[in-house]
Amino acid sequence: MLTTVDAEQARSLALLQRMVDQNSGSRNSAGVHAVYEMLRPEFEALGFAVRWVPMAQTGRAGHLIAVHHGAAGRKRLLLIGHLDTVFEADSPFQKYMVLDATHVRGPGVSDDKGGDVLMIAALRAMQAAGTLVRANIEVVLTGDEEDSGEPLALARADLVAAGKRADAALDFEGLARDGGLDMGSVARRSATDWTITVTARSSHSSGVFSSSAGDGAIYALARIIAAFRTELAEPNLTFNVGLIAGGASAALAPDQAHAAATGKTNIIAGQAVARGDLRGLTPDQIARARAKMAEIVARPYPGATATLALDDGYPPMAPTPGNRALLARLNAVNAAMGLPAMGELDPLKRGAGDISFVAADVDSLVGLGPASTGDHTANETVDLPSIWRQAKRAALLMSRLAAEKVGG
C-alpha cells in the first residue's frame, strides 16, 4: 500500500489539477456535477457502484454516493468528503498553480478536492494490496458542504441514512496541525445561525428614554447582545455577531448576508436586526445556550419588543469514547509507519462539517485529508507530502477496520 501511493503520485496530482481547474462553487450546479463526472470512473474502476443523487429541490446540484460490497459480516465503513468549494463561478481564484516541489495553490486544492483525491489514492492502494476486495465501504461526497441547500434535513438525508448503516465513519476534510504536529480530530462543534429582530416606537429623538417613547430598537438590540456576551459564556461555546443594522427602518436582504437601514440622528430607531452563529460541543450545551438566548431576548426592553429565530444548522460531533477508540486505531497505524502518535485537537480549532450529521449514530474520526494553509481564501495551498502520508495512513486504517467482524 505504501509503495502504491508513492508510485501513483503523478497520477493523483493530474486528477487533482483537473478537479481544481473545474469550478465547483456550491451554487454552480453544473460545475459540481462536472466534478462528479471526473470522480465517477475513479470509483467504478475500483468496483464501486456509483450514483448521482440530484438535489435541485434544495437549490443545489446533488451528491455522489458510491458503494463497494465486500465480505458479509465485516465492518461497514463510511467515507465522507465533498465536491463543492467556497469559490463560485465569478471568483477570480480559479486555477491550479504549482508553487514549488511541495506546495500547490488553487480553489479547493485541499478543501476538499485534495481530500477526495487522497481518498481515491488510499482506495487504489488497498486494491493493489488486495485489502479492498473484501471491504464494505460507502462513500458520500456532498455537493453543498460549503453552502448547504434547504431544507437541511432533506439536503443531508442520504448522508444520515448512510451513517445509520455504518460501523465507522471517516471524514476526508483537512488534517489539522497544532504546533507543527499532526493532530487527530474526535470532535467538531455545531454551527447554528440566529437572527434577532427588534421593533420599537419610532419618534422624535427629544423624547428618547421617556416612558412614552422608550429607548428605541438599537439600544434594545445592544443590550441583548451585551447580555449574550456576559451570560452565555462557557467552555467550547461561542456565539458570534456577524451582521447588524438599525435605524428608522432596517431589514435583511433575501440572501441573509446583506442589510439595509435608514435613519437620522433626530429619529429614535424603530427597527434593528442582527445575525450571528452559535457553536457548541454537545447537544446539552447547545440546548442550554438556546434556552438562555431565548430568555434574554424575551426580557422587557423600554419601548421595544424582540424576537429570536434559530436555524437547525449543523449538529455537534461530541468527543465520544468510540471516536477516541478510532483515533487509537489510527495511532496504531502511525506506530506501524514509524510516525509520532497524534494527539486530540482542541475542538475550538475546527469548524463544523458534514460528519456531524452521522456522529450521533456511528463512531467517527475527522481530518483524514491533507494539511493546508489559507483555506477559503485565494491563498489556499496544500502541502503535497501530507497527501501521500495521509493516503498511506488512511489505506492502512481502512484495511484494518474493514477486516474486522461486526461486533468485534
Burial class (CB in 10 A: 0-12, 13-18, 19+), 163: buried
Q: Which of 337, 341, 339 is CA-nearest to residue 184?
A: 341
User: What is the per-residue burial (b if ≥16 Cβ within 10 Å, else e) of 24-50?
Assistant: bbbbbbebbbbbbebbbebbeebbbeb
**Count of domains observed in the chain:** 2
> Is 147 found in the same domain as 37?
yes
The residue segments making up the domain with residue 396 are: 2-189+316-402
* Final residue in a domain of this structure, among 310, 335, 368: 310
Residue 350: predicted pLDDT:
86
Q: What is the pLDDT of residues 359-381, one digit of tens each?
A: 999 999 999 999 999 999 999 99
Q: Which residues pair with 193 in a beta bridge?
A: 277
> Is 128 found in the same domain as 36?
yes
Task: Report the amino acid identity of residue 119.
Answer: M
Distance CA 70, CA 126 (A): 13
Q: Which of 346, 360, 218 is CA-nearest to residue 284?
A: 360
pTM score, two decimals?
0.91
- DSSP H helix total and E strand total for the chain: 10, 19
Domain assignment of residue 408, yes or no: no
> Is 303 found in the same domain as 343?
no
Distance CA 13, CA 95 (A): 14
Q: What is the pLDDT of residues 271-288, one digit of tens each?
A: 999 999 999 999 999 999
Q: What is the pLDDT of residues 53-97, one digit of tens each?
A: 999 999 999 999 999 999 999 999 999 999 999 999 999 999 999
The CATH number given to whatever domain includes residue 106 is 3.40.630.10
| Sign of the dihedral through C-alpha 153, 157, 159, 164 | positive
> Is 295 found in the same domain as 322?
no
Weakest-pLDDT range from 195-204, 238-247, 308-317: 308-317
Is residue 303 predicted with pLDDT exceeding 80?
yes
Residue 360: predicted pLDDT:
94
> Is 258 found in the same domain as 130?
no
Please state the rounded mean pLDDT for residues 153-162: 97
DSSP assigned state of 255: T
Cβ–Cβ < 8 Å for 96, 371: no
User: What is the pLDDT of the chain when averaged over all its residues?
Assistant: 97
* Final residue in a domain of this structure, among 265, 283, 310: 310
> Is 322 found in the same domain as 207?
no
Task: Report the amino acid identity of residue 386.
Answer: S
Please state the rounded mean pLDDT for residues 33-42: 98
Distance CA 129, CA 131 (A): 6
Please, which pLDDT band fits residue 257 given cuts at 50, 70 and 90? confident
* Final residue in a domain of this structure, among 278, 310, 342: 310
| The three grid cell numbers given for residue 211, joined into one nine-digit string | 416612558
